[in-house]
Structures are given as structure tokens and as C-alpha cells.
Amino acid sequence: MKKRMEGKVVIVTGAGSVGDGWGNGKAAAVLYAREGAHVLAVDLNENAARDTQQIISDEGGICHSVVGDVTEVKDIETIVSTCLDKFGRIDVLHNNVGIAQVGGCVETSIDSWNRIININQTSIFLMSKYILPHMERQNGGSIVNIASIAGLRWLGFPYVGYSASKAAVMSITKDIAMQYASKGIRANCVLPGFMDTPMIREPLKSSYGGDVDTMRKKRDAQCPMQTMGDAWDVAYASLFLASDEAKYITGVDLIVDGGLTLKCV
């Protein structure tokens, strides 16, 4: 039986994990490989990228890791050229890089605002800018951008930079989807809700009393399903949108939140 991503080449940014356990990008990279894709795992942290590569290799998959800052054009050019040299094409761009910081307009410093926007928003613009021409020459491709339900609604605490950047990701995605629809290129977003991943633990624990276990319990209780999701929930949603199973889907925001956005409070 043919695997869902067999014959596809996938670039995953933020393919490592910022701490112990499975981050969204790490899980996505491994899942793409399990489904037959050749994966270029990109991360700013060399050890994190190599760890993902090792997991894929140990499972019999194909992966090459690259260290790169996806806010820097020179690094992006290296990422693209490396992928083409190693695998010959780029079928899927999975933009996962992002950071989170709590704070409203007054509490958030200008430097922090600019950093969040640069990493969460500008990186997607730049990666897409340098990869779309290759997809266009191939007459097809798929972009999966990881946004957040924070781009849709208030989550219980001020999150101005993160929320603004993720709302922008959704808008960028729709713009790409419309411009490139006739060229066989699709662009979609995954919007995670409350996910128990390494990235959220340190930045958010202060908003829940300063303790990770307390934060987990409170966030679990806020979810209609009474538990947070995990990186694999995001990965499987991304896999669907990247695959040919979603060949007639573009410009959508796929919410993966266990029903959280259905609540009034």
C-alpha cells in the first residue's frame, strides 16, 4: 500500500524541540517521514535538528538536517539550495517556527514585539518567498503554516504579539492560496488550541501560578474534552493538509483545539 507522502519532499522548519518531549515541528517531521516523505529538518539548534534526523533514520526514513535562521535570507537560501541538492525538488513547505510571550501592549517591549513578529510572521513570508518559485516551476506544491487559535480569540491572558502574529499568518496563507490556486499550489493553516508541548511550558507557566503541573491542570480543565492536545494532533492535521488527500483544499484554517473555540468563556 502506497504511503500518504511517498515521493514527496518536505521542508519542516522548527523541526527540533525546545525541550524534552515532542514539539509540533518534531512530530510533524517524523510523521511525514513515516508516511514516505524525504524530509529536510531545519532548526536553529543543531542538536535538536540532528535529534529529529536520528529518530527518522533509526526508523528507516530519509532525513537531512540543516541549521538555519528562517528570519535570515542567507540562511533561507542555504536551506533551499540544500534541499534541491539533496532531494531535487520541494513539494511541501511546513512552516512551524514560532515563539510565545505573554503581555499586552503596555507590558510588551518594542524589542519583544519586533522579535515575535519577525520570528512568527516574517519567517513565513521569507520562506514562502524563496520556495514558491520552485513550486511554480514544478507545477504544484503545498504550504502548511502553523498558526494558533490565539489569532482568533482571547485565551484568558494578554498575548498581543503572539496573537497579532498568528492572525497575520492566517492572512498571509489566504493570500498565497488565492494567488497560486491556478498554478497547482495550495496553502493552508493549522490552528492549534491548548497543546501540551515543550514550547508553552516556560513562557506560560507564570500566567497559571508559576508551576507547570498547575498550568497543565488548569489548561486541561479549560478544554471541553478535559485535556490538552499534543504535538501529534497538530502533526496529523498537517499531514492531511499536505497530502494529496487534501488536493481540493486551499486557504482553510483547520482548528485543532478539542472544541475550545466553541466556548463563550
162 in catalytic set: yes
Question: Which residues have a Cβ under 8 Å from the Cβ of 168 and sit 6 or more positions away?
Answer: 117, 120, 121, 151
For 82, other C-beta atoms within 10 Å of its C-beta total: 17
Domains located in the chain, CATH noted: 9-256 (3.40.50.720)
- Segment (H or E) for 79: helix 73-87
Q: Is the pLDDT reported for residue 251 higher than 80?
A: yes
pLDDT above 90 covers a percentage of the chain that reads: 87
Query: Is 32 exposed, middle or buried, given 0-12, 13-18 or 19+ CB atoms closer than 10 A?
Result: buried
Measured distance CA(81)–CA(89) in Å, rounded = 10
209 pLDDT band (50/70/90 cuts)?
Answer: confident
69 pLDDT band (50/70/90 cuts)?
Answer: very high
C-alpha cell at 17: 524541540
Q: Is the pLDDT reported for residue 205 higher than 70?
A: no
Give the mean pLDDT of 186-193.
98
Helix, strand, coil content of the chain in percent (nearest 5): 50, 15, 35
Q: Is the pLDDT reported for residue 202 higher than 80?
A: no
pLDDT value, residue 18: 84
Give the mean pLDDT of 188-194.
97
What is the b/e burial string over 5-26, where b = at least 16 CB atoms within 10 angstroms of the residue's CB? beebbbbbbbbbbbeeebbbbb
Measured distance CA(240)–CA(184) in Å, rounded = 17
For 160, other C-beta atoms within 10 Å of its C-beta total: 19
pLDDT value, residue 203: 66
Measured distance CA(26)–CA(107) in Å, rounded = 31
The lowest-confidence range among 9-13, 14-18, 126-130, 137-141 is 14-18
Measured distance CA(59)–CA(16) in Å, rounded = 17
| Mean pLDDT, rounded, of the chain | 95
pLDDT above 70 covers a percentage of the chain that reads: 97
pLDDT value, residue 265: 62
141-146 β-sheet, strand order: 62-67, 38-43, 9-13, 92-95, 141-146, 185-192, 253-256
Which residue do the cell numbers 510523521 mark? Answer: 31
Which residue do the cell numbers 502533526 mark? Answer: 235
C-alpha cell at 25: 515541528
List the beta bridge partners of residue 1.
none
Which residue out of 159, 162, 180, 236 is catalytically annotated?
162
Render pLDDT for 111-158 as a digit per residue (tens, 0 to 9). Answer: 999 999 999 999 999 999 999 999 999 999 999 999 999 999 998 889
Residue 147's region, left for phi above 0, alpha for psi from -120 to 50, else beta, is: beta
